[in-house]
Amino acid sequence: KAGVTQTPRYLIKTRGQQVTLSCSPISGHRSVSWYQQTPGQGLQFLFEYFSETQRNKGNFPGRFSGRQFSNSRSEMNVSTLELGDSALYLCASSLGTSGDTDTQYFGPGTRLTVL
Amino acid sequence: GEDVEQSLFLSVREGDSSVINCTYTDSSSTYLYWYKQEPGAGLQLLTYIFSNMDMKQDQRLTVLLNKKDKHLSLRIADTQTGDSAIYFCAESKVGGYNKLIFGAGTRLAVHP
């Protein structure tokens, strides 16, 4: 079974631009979560989607948004990029049917650099 | 509150056992996880333990959970150079809808 895939793997943007990252979950998984990883703040939860609905959200500004499609693929968008948005963005998928928590499998991440 | 703490660095000799420690503060945790991250890569799930268990063994990996002290440990037997990586402890909570709270990670260095 193929793992979680994320595209693109690397991105370079300038301040003020916006960016869209994509995540394809493991086949059969309906939950997709997004995390930001930086050297200073570590791994932080952004949001989680299940059946096209956002079920949980972390403490990030409204510039960070996401969505999920009917095939469970998910995108996250960051508008008006700031230098501090430079990070590794990780996506994780799980079955999502427990309604509580279940084992999550991570993709390789998208490395975003904001200049 | 939400807080997961780990020591930042561990150095061991090849063939020895490694023990990576983690403490968490939220008593409503449901699952506790160990993930491994190699340079330039995503997170690889190593193992997990449900919060009503005390121990779980999976090949070279042993997870111990002390609920009273909110202490979690990962023991890697016969540590190899390929085990060199950053190890993250993470917890999930009741009603958390897959939100994982991670520690800062422990960098394991294995030397000959």
Written as one string, the DSSP assignment of A29-72 is --EEEEEEEETTTEEEEEEEEETTEEEEE-S--TTEEEEE-TTS
The per-residue pLDDT for range A30-46, each reduced to its tens digit, is 999 999 999 989 999 99
| Facing residue for B98 by CB, picked from A44, A56, A109 | A56
Query: Please, are residues A38 and A30 in contact by the beta-carbon 8 Å criterion?
Result: no
Tell me how far apart the alpha carbons of residues A2 and A27 are, in angstroms, rounded to a whole number. 7
Q: What is the mean pLDDT of chain A?
A: 93
Tell me how far apart the alpha carbons of residues A17 and A65 are, in angstroms, rounded to a whole number. 15
Q: Is A85 helix (H, G, I), strand (E, B) or coil?
A: helix
Please judge whether A43 and B96 are an interchain contact, meaning their C-beta atoms are less than 8 angstroms apart. Answer: no
Tell me how far apart the alpha carbons of residues A38 and A44 are, in angstroms, rounded to a whole number. 9
Tell me how far apart the alpha carbons of residues A102 and A98 are, in angstroms, rounded to a whole number. 7
Please judge whether A106 and B35 are an interchain contact, meaning their C-beta atoms are less than 8 angstroms apart. Answer: yes
Q: Say which residue the tokens 């193992």 belong to.
A: B47
Tell me how far apart the alpha carbons of residues B108 and A35 are, in angstroms, rounded to a whole number. 23
Q: What is the DSSP string of B81-112?
A: GGG-EEEEEEEEETT-TT-EEE---EEEEEE-
Query: Please, are residues B87 and B75 in contact by the beta-carbon 8 Å criterion?
Result: no
Backbone angles phi, psi at A85, to 5 degrees: -85, -5
Please judge whether B97 and A50 are an interchain contact, meaning their C-beta atoms are less than 8 angstroms apart. Answer: yes
- Asked if the C-beta of B75 comes within 8 angstroms of chain A's C-beta atoms, the answer is no
Query: Please, are residues A70 and A52 in contact by the beta-carbon 8 Å criterion?
Result: yes
Q: Which two tokens stand for residue B77?
A: 């037997």
Q: Please provide the distance, in angstroms rounded to a whole number, between the alpha carbons at the two ends of chain B.
A: 41
pLDDT in tens, chain B (112 residues): 568 999 899 999 999 999 999 998 877 777 899 999 998 889 999 999 988 889 999 999 999 999 889 999 999 999 999 999 999 999 987 777 778 999 999 999 999 9
Residue A67 in this model has a pLDDT that exceeds 70: yes
Q: Where are the beta strands (DSSP E) in chain B?
A: 4-6, 9-13, 18-24, 29-37, 43-50, 55-58, 61-66, 71-76, 85-93, 100-102, 106-111
Please judge whether A94 and B96 are an interchain contact, meaning their C-beta atoms are less than 8 angstroms apart. Answer: no
- Asked if the C-beta of B87 comes within 8 angstroms of chain A's C-beta atoms, the answer is no
pLDDT value at position B37?
96
Task: Nearest chain A residue to B86 by CA: give it.
Answer: A42
Tell me how far apart the alpha carbons of residues B52 and B72 are, in angstroms, rounded to a whole number. 13
